[in-house]
Chain A
Amino acid sequence: MREPIAPRRRAHRIRLLGIALLAAAGVSLAAVAPAMAATPSPTPTPTNTVVQSATITAVPQCTVDPALGCVAGTLNDGNGNGVKGVTISMSDAGSDAASTVTNAEGHFAFKVSQNGLYTLTLKTSTLPSGVKAAVTQRKVQAVVGALRAAFFELSGSFKGSKATTSTVPTTFIGTAGQLAAQGLLLGLLLALASIGLSLIYGTTGLSNFAHAEQVTLGGFMAYSFGTVLGLPFILAALAAVVVGAASGYLQDRFIWGPLRKRGLGLTQLMVVTIGLSFAAEYVFQYFYGSQVQSVSSGVQLNTGPLNITPAAYWSMLVSIVVLVLVGLALQRTRIGRAARAVSDNRALAAASGIDVDRVIRLVWTVAMGLAALSGALYALVYGGIQWSTGVQILLLLFAAVTLGGLGTAFGALVGSIVIGLVVQLSTLFLSNNVKYATALFILILVLVFRPQGILGRKERVG
């Protein structure tokens, strides 16, 4: 029976706890080598069957039963379409033989009543013109009670055979273009979440490990309002943002605000966020179970110049608009300037008359709203949401924030897009298995040469 894989995730999660060990985490990710214990294939027990005169019978479709074995196959041309009307014969070591003609799907089947080595022969003269067989004879060890496949490779195509099309590009440039689009999309979704993470770090100095759960919360809210309550996705996403923002406001009102007033150290606060993150994961599992919950309404084909789904185009557009609005608000509005002032120097900001607590509360509210939006779009674009979805991108969020420069909003945006692009484009050259490790390796490289991050200022470090 299948086994859930949570223990490994939890181990992964514990590894996360030491933020100082981001690098170590990257290396250990890379070191996860596929477990590949060789599994011996079982040797079927030979069954003693009564010797019958006719051991081979041609049948249209073969269904195995305890006294019968099947040898069957399908002839497909180079386009993957079934080739009909081809004569296939099968014989045993003795004189017994049978022959059949492939049906409209190119399928042929024989049933046998005895174990043994059988020889199948394809009559080349019956192949349609344009189709060639590389091998015309194949030996199959048939076993009573089992199905054995017989395969003949054909090349070329018969008249009227259509090539199957898929939207996946096959050229290197095409693949790179599609991966870059996917990377930009991932980067924008990460940016929605990481900007909030960065703002919270900037204004309060806190590394919020529960931030990823806010992303998950957004996804689940989109699921609850959209899939469960039946609202259109746009309304469900809006509701998710409202719930996310409300949770941010309430968190600061009832946890972070009081804890700040009591002067709790940053380390203790960080531990509180870790606790909150665990608690939230279990709450999600309690209400939503451990399976993936889907928010999309149907299947969409990849289209357009970027070769991504319409939902992905919309998600990118929404992300860009929201990120620009957040950027403008930070630059142009009074409260945005106040937030940046608090981020620069909290004591000075307080001294110059800025209500620091009010700014921080607003930052929490906005950050959590953005995280919820990120979660809702993530669930839409990547086929669903699960209790652990957030945790799985937490490392990427921290990487994006650190890469861009801790505490800088635009740094988080740039860092997220770099991470998104590296994750996707690395698969052009490296295994999918190490795509996140590659992103984290880039992070280490950048930090070695530019410790303050891409957009960070030097004095912030140390």
Chain B
Amino acid sequence: MPGYLRPRRALAVVAIGATAAIALAACSSSSGGSPSASTTSSASASSTTALAAVSTCSGSEDNSKTFKLGTFLPLTGSLASLGPAAVAGSGQALSDIAKAGGVNGTAPCVISTDSSDTDHPTIGQQNIKKLLADKVSAILGAESSGVTESVLKTVDAQSTVMFSPANTDDALTGASKWYFRDAPPNAVEGNALGQQIVQDGNSKVGILVFNDPYGTNLRNSIQKAVEGAGGSVVYGAQGKNQEFPSTETNFTSEVSSVIGTKPDAIVIDAFDQTAQILPALASAGWDMKKVYFVDGNLNDYTATKGVPDLTGAKGSTQGVNPSDALKAQLSAWYAKNQNGGKISAFGYAAESYDAVVIMALAAQIAGNSTPAGIQANILPVTGSTNGTSCKTYADCLALIKGGNKNIHYEGYSGIGALNAGHDPSSGYISIYQYVGKAPSKFLNSVKG
């Protein structure tokens, strides 16, 4: 024990005493096996194989000559399960860029950092400062809207591009001239889910929504879609004050109330609370086929014992379901560069890939990879000026080298051109169906 701890020996002992049992028991439970924040292996940048990761920036590169990508992705924390898909998506994009000849003739380099989640804001703050101090050309991240909101001021003040593959909070529309995203905002999701619910023959919809901007905004757009299609919201509607507090742990009265309104279907518009709502719904005899999830809780509940069998329940999430070919490619990349790691969920993989390619193409058009050069050319690359379309970095690069600087990259994510608020003008929402307790059956990808 270090000497400086001695005076507080009593406290330390108690802390150990009170938590020893926790430690013992928890050792055997995995608390979300977070991938280590390891940087990509330093394979040669000039390598031309499709799977070779680009090298880690040494810090001395000039960001106007070398495309220095800083990744700011959830390697730890509550969203860590989404990390591997984004790491592989962005890593594969950089590999493809390097293979096609780099950006402005120089191989790109990467600095990988952990954004963690809003429960651990200091990790994200530190890593953003590190990326800014290293003068990266652009930052890919964060996935959590809350994390983005907490660091965006810092990034904005340093005039660096920040491109999120996964932020969906409506409040981020037009948040900064340096901020971009290629995931559609929540309003688009609400519309798609509302249509799906009514399409399944449910006209009276009960919404268990928690009192949080995420929940209420999404509820509003679901309600609008349901009502527009001829249905009605019988519980949890806007203005009815039937939201539950986000700190709620006991859902028996909410469940009684919502079922009491005799809805055809129930939407659970919440986060973690869902793990406690589902057993309460099951105890009340509710048919799980008539439950709808949103992106905040469309999780795999296989490991959660109290949750009933959810087979038949449906839910929506932003983003396109990547093609099997892309999934296989990303899995191979991840296994090779992350010590045989596996990707369990592919959410936002296509969006991460496209974000990196869009920024690299913007840098190529600008002729330098400074943040200002990239910032000015992102919108045209996404199609805002109806440029010549091209589908891969190599094809687009050939067009630019051929003298055509007005190109439109059509990538895997299938988004419409970014608009003035730097949101995709259209994007895809995927509807999944539960088989057992996992949302594994892909039903539909709809454009909203």
Contacts and interface: CB of A to CB of B under 8 A. Distances in A.
A175 to B, nearest CB: 6
A250 B14 contact: yes
A35 B201 contact: no
Contacts of A301: 282-283, 285
A182 B253 contact: yes
Interface residues of A, number: 117
B283 A302 contact: yes
Given A80-B264, A220-B22, A250-B17, A35 B211 contact: yes
Given A431-B241, A432-B254, A384 B25 contact: no
A384 B118 contact: no
A75 B197 CA distance: 13
A435 B248 CA distance: 10
Contact of B306 (A35, A66, A299): A299
A168 B284 contact: yes
Nearest to A8: B246
Interface in A369-427: 378, 382-384, 386, 388-389, 391-393, 424, 427
Contact of A298 (B26, B252, B296, B306): B306
Given A4-B271, A34-B243, A147-B195, A165 B285 contact: yes
A229 B25 contact: yes
Contact of B22 (A7, A40, A284): A284
Question: Which has the most chain A C-beta neighbours within 10 Å: B198, B250, B284?
Answer: B250
B37 to A, nearest CB: 17
A292 B166 CA distance: 23
Given A42-B187, A224-B26, A175 B144 contact: no
A287 interface: yes
A342 to B, nearest CB: 23
A255 B10 contact: yes
A179 B426 contact: no
Contacts of B105: none
Contacts of A37: 170, 213, 216-217
B224 interface: yes
B78 interface: yes
Interface stretch (B28-36, B48-56, B336-344): B28-36
Contacts of B118: 3-4, 6-7
B22 A283 contact: yes
B78 A167 contact: no
Given A73-B199, A247-B17, 6 more contacts: A147-B192, A182-B256, A286-B31, A294-B304, A384-B306, A388-B247
Interface of B: 10-11, 13-15, 17-19, 21-26, 28-29, 31-32, 77-79, 82, 117-119, 143-147, 166-170, 183-188, 190-192, 194-203, 211-214, 216-217, 220-221, 224-225, 229-231, 238-257, 259-260, 262, 264, 271-273, 275-280, 282-287, 295-297, 304-309, 348, 414, 416, 425-426, 443-448
7 contacts: A1-B348, A6-B119, A167-B284, A250-B17, A251-B18, A284-B22, A384-B275
